[in-house]
A and B are shown apart, each in its own frame.
Chain A
Amino acid sequence: MSEISTESAKKFNMDTVANAAITPDVELPWAELGLKQNEFDDVVKVLGRRPTAAELAMYSVMWSEHCSYKSSKNHLRQFGEKVTEEMKKDMLVGIGENAGVTNLGDGWAVTFKIESHNSPTMIEPYQGAATGIGGIVRDIISMGARPVAVMDPLRFGAIDHPDTARVMHGAVAGIGGYGNSLGLPNIGGEMVFDSVYQGNPLVNALAVGVMRHEDIRLANASGKGNKVVLFGARTGGDGIGGASILSSESFDNSKPSKRPAVQVGDPFAEKVLIECCLELFKGSLVEGIQDLGAAGISCATSELASNGDGGMEVELTSVLLRDPTLTPGEILMSESQERMMAVVSPENIAAFEAVMEKWAVEYSWLGEVTDTGRLIIKWDGEVIVDVDPRTVAHDGPVYDRPYARPEWQDALQADTFTGSVQDAARPSTPEELKAAMLELVASPNMCSKDWITNQYDRYVGGNTALAFPDDAGVIRVDEETGLGFAVATDANGRYTFLDPYHGAQLALAEAYRNVATSGAVPMAVSDCLNFGSPEDPDVMWQLAEAIRGLSDACMVLGIPVTGGNVSLYNQTGTTPIHPTPVVAVLGKFDDVARRTPSGWAEDGQAIYLLGTTADDLDGSEWANMRGHLGGLPPAVNLERERELGAILINASRDGMIDSAHDLSEGGLAAALVESALRFNTGARVALDDVAARDGVDVFTLLFSETQGRAIVSVPRSEEVRFNDMCTARNFPLSRIGVVDAAGAALDIQGLFTAELDELRVAHEGTLPKYFG
């Protein structure tokens, strides 16, 4: 940009709308800002002129993959389409808002959402992961809810790769450092090590909030004359990165100052922001509210305006800055953390300011809501943005990216574990089977996650009824009635790699099963779709198949997707990560006192295995430990999952079981060991009858990952009732053992006995060995 034509632009050294109108041919750095030629042409078409530098900044961030979902939108539609009326009945707010809201009953509602912060974590693990927690929590606040819990599904590279320790230490400390400081219990997550994530670790963060129905807030700016306010942290150059490409917008030849590529979180500021927002909600002091995440003020203004009466006028010089050298475009793009934008009616201004003063939160009034249908942004009185906010927030480009089943998929699926070279020395003697069990529970993915979870506060708030290492996290919402919820997150990248359609369904099935295992009735789904580049037809096929599979499965299970997030371009060079759709399921408890823990505690209780076992070793942890990945993942049987869920929920409600643990990665072997170590209580188990019934050898029975299974412990007095219930529902069950509190061992009769101490050393030693 070279010439400044209008008087006003000259006066302010700024690219105004007036200037843009008369200088159509100015070169703009749209390519550097990530726009494609066709996208830039669209911007020009929408505006009827070239964009100003500030407008270009807004469109470029809002039309990015991250904000516009341009590659996934056409597929994500299925989540909204494949829903029945029945599924909608408890959905108070669905997809499209900051987070979905589900009715819990008694006037309570719960909102939850999962998001990714993958690449920031690779660059700076501590801050990347910390700000991931911060961002998702602000999404929850912006719904009008009090955040009450967080979870953190993680994927890192190989456990013994030197860079993994850097990411692991930083990310876990960051999640703890930020989440613990907010007073939000961390109640669960995942930790998977796999070299496919070496250059692309996944840090997904989930937050849950609760509110009364009448407190639900939406992000919209309505009511002409209502004021727009920005509050919280000051705006800095965060997330803009390097020397800004937009420095030219000020037509200023001096060298641009540095812009930080990483955002540093201030958890204290966020904690204060939470309390401050809750006080605003309590006093009904805001008409609409929006958090500032990716795309900062661009996103907040355009979304608030387009979801409301359609107009807003804002003076950008009113924004409080941390860095006074920021240009208007940079201010619009800045991703500084711990900020919120709200719409306040004039009569509430004084009360709003009083809340800010009380919490010592900085704020500035930026402008007001209009009914013009235009978003006008001024810089010292001069118009630098004049757009239809819908075109920024909602009418971004949408692509039908080409996709096709990869050529290699058939060969991959044909390469089964059974009979492979990696399967050559399959354990079969008692000694080998015992060694295999010890090896399994010490393996990177199956070992105890205490090293991680001990760094997280699970108690704060005093309402945590279950947390790690149980199957789901459970939080009490109402202290009087015990009303509460459960959440679990799951994904298996290997299953999804082998078969994206079914792999995504298996993630849903496992999260559903985990929630039901805790005793809660599954109600809603949130998902974070972590994939490679959508411009690679193989990856695009994985994404399309996963979304199709997930949405189909939600229909069968009768629980809707209420929100989520897509993270694309997770790849190193041309090598994508395994497709990793992380699925979170939320369930409801009428009374969390009925929750079921995952471990045995009472001597003499009978242990039952629910479900049958087939040869499902492809994609299993065992195959993974042997370095094999091929074949087909376990069969999906959603009807079976529903029946199992109903049994677990009824049994919990009617007091028929005292513990339950679902079978997933690591199969029966992992579940037995985890149930024993939970409360340090042993058991005597006999497997011959089930193995004979299912026609599998003991190794397969122990290590296969057939779905739709769980083990439960049943008090003697309830055995008849429990048996009758399962039989009446025609669900296969088998009594496989007895809890033996005195034994201090897991005694697999006729095969081997593993002392609890020796299992514990194996299970708990792995993460400390690698990470100190």
Chain B
Amino acid sequence: MSETPLIGGATLAPVDSRLAGARIGVVTFPGTLDDRDAVRAVRLSGATAVELWHADTELADVDAVIIPGGFSYGDYLRAGAISRFAPLMTKIVDAANSDAKLPVLGICNGFQILTEAHLLPGSMIKNDHLKFLCRDQVLRVENNTTAWTNAYAAGEDITIVLKNQDGQYIADEKTLDALEAEGLVAFRYMGGNPNGSRRDIAGISNAAGNVVGLMPHPEHAVEAGYGPGHTGTDGLGFFNSVLNTLLGDK
């Protein structure tokens, strides 16, 4: 029986065997949608993608984890609320908080899950215009010292895809002030706030810089012809960044 299509068709030989040694886990929950895209992005960056299942109880020796976008559990109750309790999430939270500082990237629904799991502060509520919004979005890289942003220049503008219904980032003023003061705002929306997020925040990191969450989708901007404006590949930097981190290059 052949593989069903669109599950990683292309077998790109990794350019650098050092990179292929890096194992990046991509978690699938029931209702996850962008897992295949995240796997593709990992592969295009040269690393090895490892598919993880929410009900797994072990992390399969991965060097980093991506929690991809989608509507896990249908976004029912609150986006990310039910997924947060998955067995694998406990492992991820522990590993992220451990001395090993497992790099974790939460994209969109993944970001929502990370906030529900209290790995990142704040939360997301419905977009201020109340609609699902899919558009090409310019972001400013505010912090290029994290595990997932070090391949970018500080202050660089990148265009990636924004698509969500509950994307309005909120936190109390104290938390927001602290995020700003400690430089933990990783990305800010440029060219108009698309959803009412406080202080135009599109993504944040934890203090150690190993956990990053953002609403827009870098994994949809890794292949010319299939990303923003059908040419953009600005999202590749995320996946290159974590390789830098893992290989000790940065």
A interface list, Cβ under 8 A from B: 107-108, 146, 148, 173, 176-177, 180-183, 210-212, 214-215, 266-269, 271-272, 275, 278, 281-284, 358-360, 453-466, 476-480, 592-593, 597, 679
Contact = CB atoms under 8 A, between A and B. Distances in A.
A146 B163 contact: no
B30 A461 contact: no
B135 A476 contact: no
Given A180-B71, A268-B31, A465-B225, A459 B217 contact: yes
B230 A215 contact: no
B134 A593 contact: no
Q: What are the 5 A-B residue pairs with the smallest beta carbon separation, nearest first? A: A268-B74, A183-B33, A479-B9, A479-B10, A212-B2
Contact of B5 (A269, A454, A478, A593): A478
Interface string B151-179: 00000000001010100000000000000
The B interface, classified by DSSP as helix, strand, loop or mixed, is loop
A457 B70 CA distance: 11
Contact of B134 (A108, A454, A477, A679): A454
A461 B69 CA distance: 11
Nearest to A267: B74
A359 B161 CA distance: 29
B50 to A, nearest CB: 18
A183 B40 CA distance: 16
Contacts, number: 127
A276 to B, nearest CB: 10
A742 B9 CA distance: 41
Given A454-B135, A458-B134, A459-B161, A215 B1 contact: yes
Nearest to B134: A457
A349 to B, nearest CB: 19
B177 to A, nearest CB: 33
Interface residues of B, number: 41
A465 B230 contact: yes
Contact of A464 (B36, B133, B226): B226
B63 interface: no
30 contacts: A146-B5, A180-B165, A183-B33, A183-B70, A210-B6, A211-B4, A212-B4, A266-B74, A267-B74, A268-B30, A268-B71, A282-B1, A282-B3, A455-B132, A457-B132, A457-B163, A458-B134, A459-B217, A459-B220, A460-B34, A460-B37, A461-B36, A462-B226, A465-B225, A465-B226, A466-B230, A477-B5, A478-B9, A479-B10, A480-B10
A461 B1 contact: no
B71 A146 contact: no
Nearest to A272: B30
A462 B37 contact: yes
B91 interface: no
A593 B225 contact: yes
A414 B30 CA distance: 60
Interface in B1-55: 1-6, 8-11, 30-31, 33-34, 36-37, 40, 55
A214 B1 CA distance: 8
Query: Which of B6, B40, B161 gathers the greatest number of chain A CB atoms within 10 Å?
Result: B6
B30 A360 contact: yes
B1 A460 contact: no
B226 A476 contact: yes
